[in-house]
Amino acid sequence: MNAAETNLSPAMALLKLRAWAKELPEPLSGLCVHALDNEGYGRAPGGKTRHHAYPGGLAVHTYEVTKRARDFVWGPAKGDLSILHVTTAAGILHDLGKAREYGVTSDESGLTIDRTKEGYLLGHLSMSYGWFVREAAARNLDYDLTVRVAHCILSHHGRREWGSPTEPQTLEAHALHSADMMSMQDAGGQGKK
């Protein structure tokens, strides 16, 4: 990724993410656009301290991950566009729960990012997964696509000891996990919990 792509504003990151979401087939497209427009991506931090720990950091991190993951699967996806569709949707949705996991407050000493009660008790993986499967069911998303995107969301930390309830088993899931790690490390994070 070049320097211009890694220094995007949250607003520009959201514009690029929306463009990719609109390229997806329905109902996956509408689901991803709805998430980007309604779930706080433009305001939410990407983390508390490890990476993208600033308002709007979630949008920037999500863009970086989605871009890299799409690049990783581009060759194989030429023969099967569903690979690109699943990768794009999973990239957009993988950290959706962080918009509710973290709260940002401001006082005379500056901004503070803390975990919300919901974030502390549930964590962003389960919140992202829960939101996605509810929306997928409400929109009658194809079962195969639902399972593939859900697997990516649940496995994106890569290992059980890093908080994933399952480890990547598909090309899309491996691409998402690798892209997530690269974005986090490029932003100064040292690794998953």
User: Looking at the predicted structure, is the pLDDT value of residue 146 above 70?
Assistant: yes
Band of the pLDDT at 139, cuts 50, 70, 90? very high
User: Looking at the predicted structure, is the pLDDT value of residue 103 above 90?
Assistant: no
Q: What is the pLDDT of residue 1?
A: 55
Q: What is the pLDDT of residue 45?
A: 83
> What CATH topology corresponds to 3-186?
Hypothetical protein af1432 (1.10.3210)
- Domain range summary for the chain, segments of one domain joined by +: 3-186
User: Looking at the predicted structure, is the pLDDT value of residue 191 above 50?
Assistant: no
- At 27, phi and psi to the nearest 5? -90, 5
User: Looking at the predicted structure, is the pLDDT value of residue 117 above 80?
Assistant: yes
User: Looking at the predicted structure, is the pLDDT value of residue 4 above 90?
Assistant: no
Look up residue 98 and give its two tokens. 């962080």
Residue where the block lists tokens 């890299």? 68
Which residues are bridge partners to 113 per DSSP?
104
Higher-scoring residue by pLDDT: 31, 1: 31
User: Looking at the predicted structure, is the pLDDT value of residue 118 above 70?
Assistant: yes
User: Looking at the predicted structure, is the pLDDT value of residue 156 above 50?
Assistant: yes
Q: What is the pLDDT of residue 107?
A: 77
User: Looking at the predicted structure, is the pLDDT value of residue 35 above 60?
Assistant: yes
List all residues 6 or more positions away from 67 whose beta carbon is below 8 Å from its beta carbon.
1, 5, 16, 91, 179
User: Looking at the predicted structure, is the pLDDT value of residue 190 above 60?
Assistant: no
> Whole-number mean pLDDT of the chain?
86
Q: What is the pLDDT of residue 5?
A: 53
Look up residue 128 and give its two tokens. 């992202």
